[in-house]
């Protein structure tokens, strides 16, 4: 049985359309206009125990709404979902003790208190045994290298340090499922790497199930083998990371290093020139044309080196997002 099972899950909002000006405000007292926002449109998803799944999509695609539904923060308009056999929006205490939600733009720690004090509160909320609590806190603080910061007020910590503290708070009760919404947002490269390294180690060691949303492709490439792409409230892709490039990119990048004896005025008909830095020229070429391009080039020119590679994942994902947005003009919600 999957640890997360979603069937036809949807969430619609009725949003008040306020009119401009004083006249519009007065008219709004007597006659209000609303529009319906379809945040999630009947998605279907299954996640097995121990999977680390990336949940990708442009702003307003429905990622955060889906995580809120699966964590029971909001109720759906239609469809069903179970996490570890529980219906999330019933908000049973047994379920609350078995999952955690971390949102990169939301704080769960008391701003003016040391993190250790907030952790004590978490211990009592989740009824964690005192010895287990101390052991987990020691383990997590050592892994994240923040032991020296536990007694420092949270407001005095850097953004990266605060995110480490947020992760500790989420993991102190040993959840079986962890929902992460943009955990590295706003962090510098070093802080991102440290968070990635910790999550990879902890997930492999504990075999917990993690559903991660992120706009940083390095997070996804470093942590996840499976990717779910959502756009306009519907799932557009569910499969491997490499499969995204195979399915949504029809091009290859071909970098040719010409011999110094070659003419500087080479024809551009070999493909779209992406980068030109003589004697290296990079072309974007349809996948099916790569053998022909290479054969013709090697026949007519002196080539010292050839590199054929897929386009950057960021470019493929961005293209997929743009295509999804262009194919629909309906309003969206985060």
Task: List pLDDT tens digits, range 251-291.
Answer: 889 888 888 777 665 655 667 888 888 888 888 888 888 88
Tokens of 8: 């036809």
Whether 183 and 288 map to the same domain: the answer is no
Whether 220 and 274 map to the same domain: the answer is no
For position 6, what pLDDT does the model report? 96
Whether 217 and 294 map to the same domain: the answer is no
Q: How many helices (H) and strands (E) does the chain have?
A: 11, 13
Whether 12 and 77 map to the same domain: the answer is yes
For position 106, what pLDDT does the model report? 76
Q: What are phi and psi of 285, to 5 degrees?
A: -130, 135
Whether 197 and 298 map to the same domain: the answer is no
CATH of residue 71: 3.40.50.300
Whether 266 and 202 map to the same domain: the answer is no
Helix 159-171 to helix 130-143 angle (10° resolution) is: 150
**Average pLDDT of span 32-54:** 89
- List pLDDT tens digits, range 225-237: 899 988 878 888 8
- List pLDDT tens digits, range 199-244: 999 999 999 999 999 888 888 888 998 999 888 788 888 998 878 8
The mean predicted confidence, pLDDT, of the chain is 86
Whether 19 and 93 map to the same domain: the answer is yes
Pick from 246, 280, 295: which residue ends a domain? 246
Percent residues over pLDDT 90 in the chain: 47
Max CA distance (Å), the chain: 80
Residue 149: pLDDT over 60: yes
For position 18, what pLDDT does the model report? 74
**Average pLDDT of span 126-142:** 95
Query: What is the extent of the structural domain holding 72?
Result: 4-98+175-246
Q: Strands (DSSP E) along 17-143, which ranges?
A: 34-47, 52-56, 78-83, 99-103
Distance CA 316, CA 214 (A): 15
Report the length, in residues, of the chain. Answer: 334
Residue 116: pLDDT over 80: yes
pLDDT tier at 3 (50, 70, 90 boundaries)?
Answer: very high
For position 332, what pLDDT does the model report? 43
Residue with tokens 């102190």: 172
Whether 290 and 196 map to the same domain: the answer is no
- List pLDDT tens digits, range 162-195: 999 999 999 999 999 999 998 888 888 888 899 9
Q: In terms of pLDDT, which residue wins out, 155 or 281?
A: 155
Pick from 246, 270, 297: which residue ends a domain? 246
Q: Is 230 helix (H, G, I), strand (E, B) or coil?
A: strand
| The total number of structural domains that make up the chain | 2
Whether 83 and 25 map to the same domain: the answer is yes
Residue with tokens 């429905």: 62
Whether 238 and 254 map to the same domain: the answer is no
Q: How many C-beta neighbours within 10 Å does residue 332 have?
A: 19
Whether 192 and 68 map to the same domain: the answer is yes
Beta bridge partners of 266: none
Whether 196 and 290 map to the same domain: the answer is no
Pick from 246, 266, 286: which residue ends a domain? 246
Enumerate residues 6+ apart whose C-beta is below 8 A from 129. Answer: none
């Amino acid at each position: 049985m999957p640890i997360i099972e979603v069937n036809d899950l949807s969430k619609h909002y009725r949003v008040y359309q306020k009119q401009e000006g004083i006249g519009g405000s007065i008219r709004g007292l007597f006659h209000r206009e609303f529009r319906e926002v379809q945040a999630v449109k009947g998605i279907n998803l299954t996640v097995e125990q121990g999977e680390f799944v990336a949940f990708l999509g442009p702003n307003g695609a429905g990622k955060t709404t889906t995580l809120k539904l699966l964590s029971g923060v909001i109720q759906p308009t239609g469809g069903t979902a179970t996490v570890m056999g529980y219906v999330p929006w019933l908000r049973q205490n047994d379920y609350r003790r078995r999952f955690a939600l971390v949102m990169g733009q939301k704080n769960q720690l008391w701003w003016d208190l040391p993190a250790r004090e907030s952790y004590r509160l978490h211990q009592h909320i989740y009824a964690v045994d005192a010895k287990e609590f101390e052991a987990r806190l020691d383990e997590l603080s050592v892994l994240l290298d923040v032991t020296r910061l536990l007694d420092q007020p949270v407001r005095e910590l850097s953004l990266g340090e605060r995110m480490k503290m947020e992760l500790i708070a989420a993991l102190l009760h040993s959840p079986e499922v962890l929902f992460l919404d943009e955990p590295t947002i706003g962090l510098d490269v070093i802080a991102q790497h440290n968070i990635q390294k910790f999550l990879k180690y902890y997930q492999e060691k504990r075999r917990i199930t993690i559903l991660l949303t992120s706009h940083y492709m390095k997070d996804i490439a470093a942590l996840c083998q499976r990717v779910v792409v959502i756009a306009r409230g519907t799932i557009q892709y569910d499969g491997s990371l490499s499969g995204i490039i195979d399915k949504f990119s029809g091009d290859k990048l071909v970098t040719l290093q010409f011999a110094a004896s070659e003419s500087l005025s080479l024809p551009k008909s070999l493909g779209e020139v992406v980068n030109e830095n003589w004697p290296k020229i990079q072309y974007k070429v349809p996948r099916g044309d790569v053998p022909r391009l290479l054969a013709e080039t090697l026949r007519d020119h002196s080539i010292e080196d050839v590199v054929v590679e897929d386009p950057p994942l960021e470019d493929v994902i961005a293209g997929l997002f743009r295509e999804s947005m262009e194919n629909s003009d309906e309003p969206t919600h985060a």
